[in-house]
Chains A and B, each alone.
Chain A
Amino acid sequence: MLAAVHALIVSFLVIAGAAFFFIGTLGLLRFPDFYTRVHAVTKCDALGAGLVLLGLAIWSGPDGEGVRIMALIALLLLSSPTAGHALARAAFRTGLQPWTREDGDESD
């Protein structure tokens, strides 16, 4: 019974993580320009990978592996926004203009 609940929680986390990866990829395809795409990829992929890793940590238990995977999650949460920032900054510094909506556009 306990093993079943354990497996169920792990499956839920891994499937939810995969779903966020899927949404991130969908955003990559649907969003209109570079900056909006970076939004989708940094947030959804960081959470997706975090959920999958959390599932793996629970699956392997608290002895050794689980603790290491938690350290990886912390690293991921710090490195993912940094990588997204590096991408956006490179684009911004080379003069890539962000896309704006044509209708009712009041930006200058």
Chain B
Amino acid sequence: MKTVRRWVQLSIALWLFWLVLAMPLDLSDLFWGLAVAGLAGLGASFFLWRRQAPGLGARNLAGLIFHVFDLVRLIVPAALQVARVVLDPSLPVQPRIIVYKTLLRGELERVTLANTITLTPGTHCVDLDGDRITVHCLAPSFADALVDGRVERRILRSLGISQADD
């Protein structure tokens, strides 16, 4: 019963997203879109939203939209920095793997942190296992913003979540 509910929820979410992208006018298009969304939702229901569906409150949604704009601000310096390294004839990289223990507790916050790390200059998230995040850095100094907690604070702020300090 729970699986069926998750299937229906996922299918509707996928269908709504497809409606925004495709904006079909035909009734048969609407139907086929729903049919395909149902199939995709069935496939996704085996692993998505298993524990709980993400809260889709107005506050969360606004936070997520704000977060996407935040990503835009992150990716420009990140790509420019990679470009600088790539275009340098000496290719100045000193790759390191670091393991970072995050203070963020929710699944959504942790996944957001992983995505943000990947779009931060010189760092790329490699593995996320509980509160341990494995990060690959192009040079040790790139991890500074992460290690001193700036990245985490930014995420909490942009998602509009207040988390008590321990």
Are B95 and A33 interface neighbours, CB within 8 A? yes
CB distance from A100 to the nearest CB of B (A): 6
Smallest distance from the beta carbon of B86 to chain A beta carbons, Å? 4
Q: Does A10 sit at the interface, judged by CB under 8 A?
A: no
Q: Is A32 interfacial (CB 8 A cutoff)?
A: yes
| B138 and A92 contacting across the interface, CB-CB below 8 Å | no
> Hey, which chain A residues are within 8 Å of B4, CB to CB?
none
Q: Is there a chain A Cβ closer than 8 Å to B127's Cβ? A: yes
Is there a chain B Cβ closer than 8 Å to A81's Cβ?
yes
Q: Is the CB of B91 within 8 A of A31?
A: yes
**Do B83 and A50 touch across chains, with their CB atoms under 8 A apart?**
no
Q: Which single member of B87, B93, B128, B134 contacts A32 (CB below 8 Å)?
A: B93
Given A43-B78, A47-B75, A92-B126, the answer on whether A71 and B83 have CB atoms closer than 8 Å is no
Give the contact stretch, choosing among B43-51, B111-119, B158-166: B111-119
Least Cβ–Cβ distance between A37 and chain B, in angstroms: 10
Which residues of the partner chain B approach A93 to less than 8 Å between Cβ atoms? 127
A32 to B, closest residue via Cβ: B93
The contact of B125 among A24, A27, A88, by CB within 8 Å, is A88
* B94 CB–A CB distance under 8 Å: yes
Quick one: given A81-B118, A85-B114, are A47 and B79 in contact (CB under 8 Å)?
Answer: yes
Q: Which of A26, A32, A46, A101 sits near B79, CB closer than 8 Å?
A: A46
8 residue pairs, one from A and one from B, having the closest CB atoms:
A81-B118, A47-B79, A27-B86, A81-B115, A88-B126, A43-B79, A35-B136, A23-B83
14 contacts between A and B (CB under 8 A): A23-B82, A27-B85, A32-B93, A35-B95, A35-B126, A38-B124, A39-B82, A39-B124, A71-B21, A77-B119, A81-B118, A81-B119, A84-B124, A101-B93
B positions within 8 Å CB-CB of A = 20-21, 23, 65, 68, 71-72, 75-76, 78-79, 82-83, 85-87, 91, 93-97, 114-115, 118-119, 122, 124-128, 134, 136, 138
